[in-house]
Amino acid sequence: MRRVTVLLISLLFISIGLLSGCFEEDKQQDETDGYIQQLINNASVGDTINIPSGIYYEDVTVDKSIKLIGENRETTIIDGSVEVKADGVNISEFTIQNSQGSGINISSNYNTIWNNNILNNHNGIMLINSNNNVISYNNISNNIEWEGIVLAYSNNNVISYNIISDNARDGMWLQYLSNNNTLYKNIVSNNGRHGIDLYSSSNDLVSDNNVSNNDNNGIIIRVSSNNNTIKDNNLRNNRYGIEIKYYSDTFSVKNTIYNNNFIGNDQNAYDDCINTWDNGSAGNYWDDYTGIGDVPYNISGGDNQDLYPLMNQADI
């Protein structure tokens, strides 16, 4: 009988401990739900809001010009999404994860997205009708349904020094008249479709990027994407290094491609439109070029040629 009593008492204490743990976990989650949003709601334009390390289970809307700064991007985690509606917002030093939509959705101008992890969302970063933003030094990876970064009707943005990898489809997709953007010094690798997709987007600069091991194209240019400059990039181990194609009854023309390294791609280039594959004095390095600089490199798909193929890899 004494053993039974001791056993019952022990079970009672264990149950109390488990319940206490559950209550404590619920309490901790309740304390973080809405915490960041409340700070934003109470802030004034121009304020800096510093967020301590922790996991914050909430979707955040930034509707005023503020700086929202995490303590450390590895330990300050928004388990949800961030929507930027105001101009002049700075979002830095967070991990933003597990959104059912985009980790960051921007529909305003002159914002800075700096040094964040954007991971395991359906889509990484989405810009719609959003101009003059800077997106730099972020890790935008493992977004599980769509792209790392999408721009739609968005102009004059700078996307630089990011790691954009292992996303379900494109690393970066510029679409629907996203013009005059600069894509500079990004690492774009192991994405499930294209590394960089210019779709109905013109006058963009794609420079000094490492674009490798993407399942389809390193860079694809299509649907009336004209007057883009593609230079100083390393294009390695993609299905196509660069593909420019007649698509949806449209040509992409007057693009200039030079001083790039094409190495280890299944096919280095394809172009069935009319574009320029050198700058008048220097072309590209092709690992399958068999001349000694005495003959042009023929681009598959049409009559385009690199008239000045490089004998050595470009120093990028």
| Chain segment 4-50, per-residue pLDDT in tens | 333 333 333 333 343 334 333 333 444 445 999 999 999 999 999 99
Domain that holds residue 94: 2-306
What are the tens digits of pLDDT across the range 106-130? 999 999 999 999 999 999 999 999 9
Establish if 51 belongs to a structural domain.
Answer: yes
| Start-to-end C-alpha separation, the chain | 82
We report the CATH number of the domain holding residue 178 as: 2.160.20.10
What are the tens digits of pLDDT across the range 175-191? 999 999 999 999 999 99
pLDDT at 236: 98
What are the tens digits of pLDDT across the range 200-244? 999 999 999 999 999 999 999 999 999 999 999 999 999 999 999
Establish if 313 belongs to a structural domain.
Answer: no
- Alpha-carbon distance 216 to 269, whole Å? 12
pLDDT at 2 over 50: no
Report the side by side order of strands in the sheet with 261-263.
54-56, 76-79, 95-97, 117-119, 139-141, 163-165, 187-189, 210-212, 234-236, 261-263, 285-286
Establish if 230 belongs to a structural domain.
Answer: yes
Establish if 253 belongs to a structural domain.
Answer: yes
Verdict on whether the full-model pTM lies above 0.95: no
pLDDT at 316: 87
Establish if 175 belongs to a structural domain.
Answer: yes
pLDDT at 33: 56
Q: What is the mean predicted confidence (pLDDT) over 290-316?
A: 96
pLDDT at 260: 98
Q: Which residues pair with 190 in a beta bridge?
A: none
What six digits make up the tokens of 92?
Answer: 């830095």
Q: Rounded mean pLDDT of the chain?
A: 91
- Alpha-carbon distance 220 to 209, whole Å? 14
Q: Are strands 297-298 and 305-306 parallel, antiparallel or unpaired?
A: antiparallel
- With pLDDT > 90 as the criterion, what percentage of the chain qualifies? 88
Rg (CA), the chain: 25
pLDDT at 182: 98
Q: What does the angle CA 93 – CA 94 – CA 98 come to, to the nearest 5 degrees?
A: 160
Establish if 316 belongs to a structural domain.
Answer: no
- Alpha-carbon distance 86 to 106, whole Å? 9
Establish if 312 belongs to a structural domain.
Answer: no
Residue owning tokens 């980790």: 103
User: What residues contact residue 154 under an 8 Å CB cut-off, 6+ apart?
Assistant: 127, 128, 129, 130, 131, 133, 174, 178, 181
34-65 exposure pattern, b = at least 16 Cβ within 10 A, e = fewer: ebbbebbeebeeeeeeebeebebebbbbbebb
Amino acid letter at 3? Answer: R
Establish if 71 belongs to a structural domain.
Answer: yes
* Structural domains of the chain, count: 1
